[in-house]
């Protein structure tokens, strides 16, 4: 596991690269968004629940991770600088989250900011419905 970029962001802000932080980071690499609870469970035995919360908060402040809305709960995932910018299609039947690119959407959002004199610092698009497979199943049953 390569922690060099993580270490850089941390140290340049006066924080140190600790075991707990490596583990929290490691649990998020190559992973779609996961819930706080899943993250805590995955790290249980190695990192205390409280430290997970503290480091998630810190990582968010440093732009290392972001929280994504999932219904009225949230999940966390590495932010755009550590993965790549994308949006999510959440299937409400199988729970799957599909990552997608959406250039047209990005354009529309930027334009909205301009139209309203609003300086956009970030955005999130939450699209829910049925994925291709579940939509098919639904038809078979109905």
- Applying CB under 7 A, the residues found at the interface with DNA are 10-11, 14-21, 36-37, 46-51, 53-55, 57, 72, 74
Site string for its own copies, 34-63 (x = CB under 8 A): ------------------------------
- Dihedral, 54, 58, 60, 65 alpha carbons, nearest 10: -80
Residues 6+ apart with CB under 8 A from 114: none
Query: Which one of DNA, its own copies, none is in contact with 105 (Cβ closer than 5 to 8 A by kind)?
Result: its own copies
What burial class does residue 10 get, using C-beta atoms within 10 Å of its C-beta: 0-12 exposed, 13-18 middle, 19+ buried?
A: buried
Q: Pick one of DNA, its own copies, none as the site partner of residue 124 (Cβ within 5 to 8 A by kind).
A: its own copies
> From residue 58 to residue 97, what is the string marking binding to its own copies with x (rule CB under 8 A)?
---------x-x-xx-x------------x-x-xx-----
- Provide, rounded to whole angstroms, the least separation between the CB of residue 30 and DNA: 21
**DSSP element (H, E) containing 25:** helix 19-28
Q: Judging by DSSP bridges, how do beta strands 87-91 and 97-100 pair with one another?
A: antiparallel
């Amino acid at each position: 596991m390569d922690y060099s970029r993580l270490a850089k962001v941390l140290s340049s802000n006066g924080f140190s690269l600790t075991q707990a932080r490596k583990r929290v980071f490691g649990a998020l690499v190559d992973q779609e968004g996961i819930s706080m609870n899943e993250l805590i469970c995955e790290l249980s035995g190695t990192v205390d629940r409280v430290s997970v919360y503290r480091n998630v908060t810190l990582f968010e402040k440093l732009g290392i991770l972001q929280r994504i809305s999932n219904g009225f709960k949230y999940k966390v995932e590495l932010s755009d600088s550590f993965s790549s910018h994308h949006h999510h299609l959440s299937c409400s039947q199988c729970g799957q989250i599909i990552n997608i690119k959406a250039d047209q959407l990005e354009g529309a959002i930027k334009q909205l900011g301009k139209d309203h004199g609003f300086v956009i610092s970030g955005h999130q698009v939450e699209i829910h419905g049925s994925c291709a497979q579940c939509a098919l199943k639904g038809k078979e049953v109905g």
